[in-house]
Copies of this chain bind each other. A is one copy, B any other.
Amino acid sequence: MWASPMVIRVEWALRLKGVEYEYVDEDLANKSADLLRYNPVTKKVPVLVHDGKPIAESTIIVEYIDEAWNGGYPIMAADPYERAQARFWARYAEDKVRALYAIFSTTSEAQRKAAHEAQQCLKTLETALEGKKFFGGDAVGYVDIIVGWYAHWLPVVEEVCGVSVVTDEELPLLKAWFGRLLAVDVLKAALPDRDRLLAANKARREQVLSA
């Protein structure tokens, strides 16, 4: 599903590894027989099919890609402690992402509250960037892949909802990392077109608010 930030994680991991893949679009309003067969438990995208075997859940797929093509670009650090830290922050971000969705489904005071809560969570996440270029250190790593969608999607959400979340004043390290991440060619090349994403999110916002 072209507008899904969970799908981009898998494409980024494959591209960083230099693995060729076929992208199959999925209509979530009318799920394909393949999706239901490959991911009968959660019926969600993304699903990676490798040698005929399906793997579901984007964070798990990214770890799988790192382990299955273990000779290439290292997504995870070799050190067990660094790996645990990366998993911790990825998990933190996954648990807190609801705060970001709340901005999308609210207006006025409730939206301001949601934006503030999202900002607090991101401030905590930002501490993992201190003194580093990327969450992974000098190069893009696991956490960068998991939360990297913020860089492209959050400014769109901010524009659609009329709020500011990631500002130079409040989240300077995260804001600077947005710029660095989007300058990585292999990541940039996989991103959906911004205007198309904006239009889709505007339509989705109207739909959510009128529901």
Contact = CB atoms under 8 A, between A and B. Distances in A.
Interface residues of A, number: 25
A88 B57 contact: yes
| Number of identical monomers bound together in the oligomeric complex | 2
A133 B88 CA distance: 31
Contact of A42 (B42, B64, B92): B92
Contacts of A61: 84
Interface centre among A53, A87, A88 (most CB of B within 10 A): A88
Given A60-B88, A92-B42, A53 B81 contact: yes
A147 to B, nearest CB: 15
Pairs A-B, 5 closest by C-beta atoms: A67-B80, A64-B84, A68-B80, A60-B87, A55-B84
10 contacts: A41-B92, A41-B124, A55-B85, A59-B91, A60-B84, A60-B87, A63-B83, A64-B83, A67-B83, A67-B84
Given A55-B85, A64-B84, 5 more contacts: A42-B92, A56-B88, A57-B87, A67-B83, A67-B84
Interface of A: 41-42, 50, 53, 55-57, 59-61, 63-64, 67-68, 70, 80-81, 83-85, 87-88, 91-92, 124
